[in-house]
């Protein structure tokens, strides 16, 4: 799909979706993560829970995505290469569900991997994760969760993994860098 047509499709689909307040969304997600931290007290566990939650979401996203595209008369052709998949996920998928487009870059030479850059993350607008030293101070005596190791937006990884699993593509999705 050409870039501009993909962006146009993404925008068209986004305009048809019911909207929620960004702040409500971000704060709800924040309280979810906070509860998880309280429950699990271990950064890796929290990350994997977020991934699992994202997986359930992703599984549902695919059918909704395909059906809304169908109704909107937007033709999503089956992807021939990983590059096509990346474009569809970033430009149409992210755009449709979140309202922000992700950028695709860093295609591996054999076409088996790519990077997504999300410049405008609606989930983390109010969030600041402590650095390693600050985290040590916070959880000092308790020996509990290392807050700096939490991947706050790890839910995205789960969503992408779940969604692509439904179209027979097994992927591994990881955060490389979170600002």
Largest Cα span, the chain:
58
Nearest to 159 by CA among 29, 69, 45, 40: 29
76 scored as a contact of another protein (CB under 8 A): yes
CB nearer another protein, residue 55 or residue 151: 55
Site string for another protein, 78-117 (x = CB under 8 A): x---------------------------------------
Q: Is 87 exposed, middle or buried (CB count within 10 Å of its CB: 0-12, 13-18, 19+)?
A: buried
CB nearer another protein, residue 146 or residue 165: 165
Q: Please, what is the minimum distance in Å from the beta carbon of residue 54 to another protein?
A: 15
CB nearer another protein, residue 55 or residue 95: 55
Alpha helices in the chain, H assignment, sequence order: 3-16, 22-40, 43-71, 82-87, 95-98, 132-138, 155-166
Contact 33, 150 (CB under 8 A): yes
Q: Please, what is the minimum distance in Å from the beta carbon of residue 162 to another protein?
A: 9
- The two structure tokens encoding residue 34: 């906070």
Residues of span 128-167 touching another protein by CB under 8 A: 166-167
Q: Whole-angstrom distance between the N-terminal and C-terminal Cα of the chain?
A: 30
Q: Please, what is the minimum distance in Å from the beta carbon of residue 83 to another protein?
A: 17
52 scored as a contact of another protein (CB under 8 A): no
Return residues touching another protein (CB under 8 A).
56, 59-60, 62-64, 66-68, 70-71, 76-78, 166-168
């Amino acid at each position: 799909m050409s870039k501009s047509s993909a962006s146009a499709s993404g925008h068209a689909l986004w305009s048809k979706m019911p909207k929620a307040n960004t702040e409500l969304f971000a704060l709800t997600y924040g309280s979810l993560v906070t509860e998880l931290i309280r429950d699990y007290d271990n950064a890796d566990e929290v990350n994997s829970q977020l991934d699992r939650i994202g997986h359930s979401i992703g599984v549902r996203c695919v059918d909704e995505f395909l059906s809304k595209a169908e109704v909107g008369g937007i033709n999503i052709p089956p992807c021939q290469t990983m590059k096509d998949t990346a474009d569809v996920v970033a430009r149409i998928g992210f755009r449709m569900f979140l309202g922000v487009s992700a950028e695709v870059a860093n295609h591996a030479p054999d076409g088996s991997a790519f990077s997504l850059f999300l410049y405008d993350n609606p989930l983390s607008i109010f969030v600041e994760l402590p650095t390693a030293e600050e985290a040590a101070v916070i959880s000092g005596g308790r020996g509990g969760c290392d807050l700096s190791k939490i991947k706050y937006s790890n839910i995205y990884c789960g969503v992408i993994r779940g969604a692509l699993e439904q179209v027979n593509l097994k992927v591994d999705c990881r955060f490389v860098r979170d600002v």
